[in-house]
Amino acid sequence: MKLLVYSKPECPLCEYAAVEIQAAGLMEHIEGVNIETDSELMTRYELRIPVIRNPQTGVELGWPFTAEELRKAFTEG
C-alpha cells in the first residue's frame, strides 16, 4: 500500500501529522508530495494540508486527524 501525503515545506501542521502517522504505524507506506510544485495541487489542497490519500481507493483524510482515525481509514477493510 502506498499513501500520498500532500504538504509543503515548512508546514508546522505537517510535523504534527507525522507524529500521528508514526503512531498509526503507517510511516513505511508514506510518499510525500509537495503541493507547491503543481498549481492544480495547490488549488486543491493549499488550505487543507496535510492531507493523506490512498491513490488506489481515493480515500482522503485531511488534518486534523488522530492515529486511530488513520488506522481506521487506511488499514481496515
Q: Residue 56 contacts by C-beta under 8 Å, 6 or more apart in sequence?
A: 1, 2
- At residue 7, the pLDDT reads 97
* 73 Cβ neighbours under 8 A, 6+ residues apart: 52, 59, 61, 65
Is residue 75 over pLDDT 60? Answer: yes
Query: How far apart (Å, rounded) are the C-alpha atoms in residues 56 and 47?
Result: 23
**Total number of domains in the chain:** 1
Which is nearest to 52 in space by CA: 43, 64, 37? 64
> At residue 77, does pLDDT exceed 90?
no
User: In the prediction, which pLDDT does 35 show?
Assistant: 97
- Counts of helices then strands in the chain (DSSP H, E): 3, 4
CATH for 65 = 3.40.30.10
pLDDT of residue 67: 97
Range of the domain at 32: 3-74
Span 15-71, pLDDT tens digits: 999 999 999 999 999 999 999 999 999 999 999 999 999 999 999 999 999 999 999
